Chain A
Amino acid sequence: MDRPARIVLRLATVAVLLFIYAPLTLVIVYAFNRSGTSAWPPAGLTLDWFADAIANAGLRQALLTSIGVALGATTIALVLGTLASLAVARHRFFGRETISFVVIFPIALPGIVTGMALSTTFATTGLPLGLVAIIVGHATFSIVLVYNNVIARLRRMARSLEEASSDLGADSWQTFRFVTFPTIRTALLAGGLLAFALSFDEVIVTLFTAGGLKTLPIWIFESFRLARQVSLVNVAGLVAILLSVIPVYVASRLTQGSGGVTGGRT
């Protein structure tokens, strides 16, 4: 490629990165903004909003709820995603191709459809909305994250290792415990971290299943309307970003180059 074209591409790349990162930088600046309004430029910097945020019981409760939901959903997604990936990677059966499709379905459809589907189901069957309903929803679309990570690892793992294990007299549980599990351990961890991050900041499906319960994103969403809370929202937003980005960063280190982190989400 000729030199001017390279320069144009490089400039375009820098411009896009600026476009992506400038608003994220603003989140940080606003969390420290003394004026506590949306007015730009900021009036000065302060740490006061962090103290206010820590003192706010509603915000603390919402954070705890979100962590609880994310842990619950992640646990379910880990178990179900691993089982499905073992079945697909290690067995041949009728309908095997369909499994990947079914697993990805909840995340490929618009979030509002998933939200409506779950809430009509809870309403029709008379089950209460709330914590369990949120966890069910989050677990359903998090399965694919674990599934994709584990199946990618299983496909790269030499089958001969498992065959050697059973040739040496190990039964299937022992082979899983001592051969397969150590190989997929980091993939499980990565999938789990992604599931946690996804659950932690999901709001579109959550609002349909929460039934009044407040997760951190719901607390943020409802506080938008209250002008007094702008500064608190900014702090909560910074926390929300850190608590979803840090797990994803760790996950990307764990799966170096296998592309697990880039899987779709809604």
Chain B
Amino acid sequence: MIGATDRSTPGTMRRLAGWLDRHARVRLAMLLAAPMGWLVLAYLGSLVLLFVNAFWSRDAFTGLVERQFTPDNFIEIFTNPLYRNVTLRTFGMAVAVTLTCAVIAFPIAYYMARVASPRTRGLLAVAVVMPLWASYLVKAYTWRLILSNDGVLNWLLEPLGLRGPGLGESVVGLWLVFTYLWLPYMILPLYAGLERIPHSLLEASADLGGRGWTTFRRVILPLVVPALVAGSIFTFSLTLGDYIAPSLITTTQFIGNLIFLNFGVPDLPFAAALSLVPLAIVVLYLLVARRLGAFEAL
């Protein structure tokens, strides 16, 4: 069949393919040129320009970007308490959301990995994955409806004499929304990590007298640390880089809001300098995560 099709497509293409067969290096170069060219130019190049922009400034009168090196943006970020507070607040939120996700994800991940039948397991995996892909924006917006004064949450809490956190200054609602949005990112790696633990280890622990809690603390937990860290990369990075959910749910500002605000002014150099803050935090976090073996668990 191949021969038959081949005779009808003569010439250049075949000769080129034949020549490439004899030159594996050239073939490799041709495979890599486009994707690596794209990623290096469009992405790494952009990151370099972002870094360069952070050291430029904006002329207060003309609004134009002055392409001259100045550390002013960073001096402002490090000395103005506003930016320190917002950075700490954002970081604290990322930590709180990550911990909450881990606690909520554990039981369902454990159930999926070690209790459910293979059929249920498959269904649960799909049930957890699908919402992850449902429009992020719509999910965040729906929480705005839920948390609003006349929304579902207050309707549910009213008979108990309670009220929800609302959409004002409180960051409790945002904490809830972030937890909701990123939860599947924690469940999935945790589920995979728990599934990989050999059953014999749990039996050995039980044989040696380890009760449920002891086995959990001394056998299971240490073994799923890489999976937990892998999940936390998502919950952490996504929280740091979000400005939509904060703007929808609370009047309190997070670092993403400030970046987007300065982008809109437009003061691109200052926005660039500000966006290096979450970038630096995430890169540091990734380095720690790699030491903890999280990359193998991704």
Contacts and interface: CB of A to CB of B under 8 A. Distances in A.
Contact of A197 (B32, B115, B126, B133): B133
Interface stretch (A16-24, A50-58, A152-160): A16-24
B77 to A, nearest CB: 14
Given A23-B139, A117-B43, A204-B242, A171 B18 contact: yes
B38 interface: yes
Given A80-B35, A102-B36, A111-B241, A224 B134 contact: no
Nearest to A252: B126
B268 A120 contact: yes
Interface stretch (B44-52, B68-76, B79-87): B44-52
B129 A252 contact: yes
Given A110-B241, A224-B144, A40 B110 contact: no
A171 B17 contact: yes
A171 to B, nearest CB: 4
B95 interface: no
Nearest to A1: B115
B207 interface: no
Contacts of A76: 38
Bin chain A's interface residue count.
35 or more
In this complex, which of B42, B144, B145, B187 has the most chain A Cβ atoms within 10 angstroms of its Cβ?
Answer: B145
A242 B20 CA distance: 44
Bin chain B's interface residue count.
35 or more
A17 B152 CA distance: 18
Interface in B12-42: 13-14, 16-18, 20-21, 24, 27-28, 31-32, 34-36, 38-40, 42
A5 B138 CA distance: 36
A139 B41 CA distance: 13
B234 interface: yes
A12 B108 CA distance: 6
Nearest to B176: A19
Contacts of A168: 2
Contact of B49 (A9, A10, A120, A249): A120
A87 B28 contact: yes
A110 B278 contact: yes
A174 B2 contact: yes
B205 interface: no
A245 B256 contact: no
A105 interface: yes
A17 B137 CA distance: 20
B137 A172 contact: no
Contacts of A233: 141
B220 to A, nearest CB: 12
Given A13-B124, A110-B238, A220 B137 contact: yes
26 contacts: A1-B115, A2-B212, A8-B107, A9-B115, A12-B111, A13-B112, A20-B127, A23-B146, A38-B144, A76-B38, A79-B34, A80-B35, A84-B36, A91-B31, A111-B238, A112-B241, A113-B241, A114-B43, A116-B271, A117-B49, A124-B53, A140-B39, A173-B16, A198-B133, A220-B138, A248-B129
Q: Across the A-B interface, give the 10 residue pairs with the lowest CB-CB distance, nearest first.
A: A110-B241, A12-B107, A173-B17, A237-B138, A117-B46, A87-B31, A84-B35, A171-B17, A80-B35, A201-B135
Given A39-B151, A76-B38, A121-B46, 5 more contacts: A84-B35, A120-B53, A224-B248, A233-B141, A248-B130
